[in-house]
Homo-oligomer: A and B are copies of this chain.
Amino acid sequence: MENLIPDETIRHTLLSRLSEQVPDFDFAAVQLSAQLLMSSQQTVNLFENHFAQWGLSQGRFAILMLLYNLPENDWTPVKLAEATHVTKATVTGLVNNLSRDGYITRRQHPDDGRKISLRLSESGEQLVRGMIPQHFERISQIYSNLDGQQIKQICDALALLQRAIMPGAAREIRQ
């Protein structure tokens, strides 16, 4: 499973070499960024591995959940792209595979010839209905070692981080 940050020993000598080259080398920030990247990758992997149990990925799961739980929304590729924050082209790919696997169906939209109406198939509904209890049980279990106060502590830290890097993130995207 990917990670890309070298472990302690290599990272340590790497940082010491770098600190010789870079004036004002900011150890704290670099360590923090490494921790964040490692922790991020770990979280993503945890969920991807979990979903793999049902042959799903984060993206496939997100689409199935939206179709299953909010069927009144008359989902189209564009709506899914907006809801899941990926591009239309990515949705096309996910929808291709999900429909190839028989979980969803495309049909012409009655009102607008450009649109495609997406629905869960019978087997798609079955899949979701079957996985939901285990899925949410598992999420609860993953974090079961944390008490309410600790969860709050983590959420606070994430919010703090969010606020601190938000302007930076916005500037990045423009670049």
Footprint of B on A, CB under 8 Å? Answer: 1-7, 10, 13-14, 17-18, 21-22, 24-26, 28-33, 35-37, 39-47, 49-50, 53, 58-59, 62, 65-66, 69-70, 83-86, 90, 132-133, 136, 139-146, 148, 150-151, 153-158, 160-165, 168-169, 172-173, 175
Contact = CB atoms under 8 A, between A and B. Distances in A.
B29 A70 contact: no
A44 to B, nearest CB: 6
Given A4-B58, A154-B157, 11 more contacts: A4-B62, A6-B62, A10-B70, A17-B69, A18-B69, A26-B140, A31-B155, A32-B154, A32-B155, A39-B158, A153-B156
Contact of A28 (B39, B148, B168, B175): B148
A143 B83 contact: no
Contacts of A143: 26, 28-29, 32-33, 164-165
How many identical subunits does the complex contain?
2
A142 to B, nearest CB: 5
Contacts of A142: 29, 33, 165, 168
Given A29-B143, A62-B6, A139-B30, A44 B49 contact: no
A36 to B, nearest CB: 5
A39 B42 contact: no
Given A70-B13, A153-B160, A175-B53, A41 B39 contact: no
Contacts of A58: 4, 37
B47 A6 contact: no
